[in-house]
Amino acid sequence: MRRSIAVHAEGAGVRTLKPPLDLDVIRQPWPIERADAVVCINMIHIAPWSAAEGLMAGAGSLLPPAGVLYLYGPYRRDGRHTAPSNAEFDESLRSRNPDWGLRDLEAVAELAGRQGLELREVIEMPTNNLSVVFVRS
């Protein structure tokens, strides 16, 4: 979707964003030296846990103090699904690949914390997703 992102940004006249990167979060170091923010949408649950580990390591080393890591997607909270549809989605993901599935938000926050990323805000979104905001300390 990188081409689509670039076309939309160009069409909207956005000149402050660099083009989207071809980024494998597991491969360290990332092909960029610094960023003010990292946005990750709908990845953690459709990837092995090692991708979440790579995301946190990369964001932790890339972001300056007060830099933001923004995550969006479905999560479990306190080990429970937030809606029956999320439980069904989780089961569907795990049936396709046992390394995939909805993650516990608390485990993601703990992983982020090990990289100097502090959980700042969790915002409930439509269709049982969450916006999760971490800030580099």
Q: Summarize pLDDT for 28-80 with one digit per residue, the tens.
A: 999 999 999 999 999 999 999 999 999 999 999 999 999 999 999 999 999 99
Q: Is the sign of the CA dihedral 119, 123, 124, 126 positive or negative?
A: negative
Tokens describing residue 108: 């993601």
Per-residue model confidence (pLDDT) at position 13: 82
**Which has more confidence, 67 or 3?**
67
Per-residue model confidence (pLDDT) at position 76: 98
Q: Which domains does the chain have, with CATH numbers?
A: 27-136 (3.40.50.150)
Tokens describing residue 32: 């960029």
Per-residue model confidence (pLDDT) at position 1: 79
Against a cut of 0.85, is the pTM above it? Answer: yes
Per-residue model confidence (pLDDT) at position 74: 98
Condensed to tens digits (0 to 9), the pLDDT of residues 79-131 reads: 999 999 999 999 999 999 999 999 999 999 999 999 999 999 999 999 999 99
Give, as one character, the DSSP assignment of residue 100: -
Answer yes or no: is pLDDT of 133 > 80: yes
Answer yes or no: is pLDDT of 8 > 90: no
In angstroms, the CA 38 to CA 40 distance is: 7
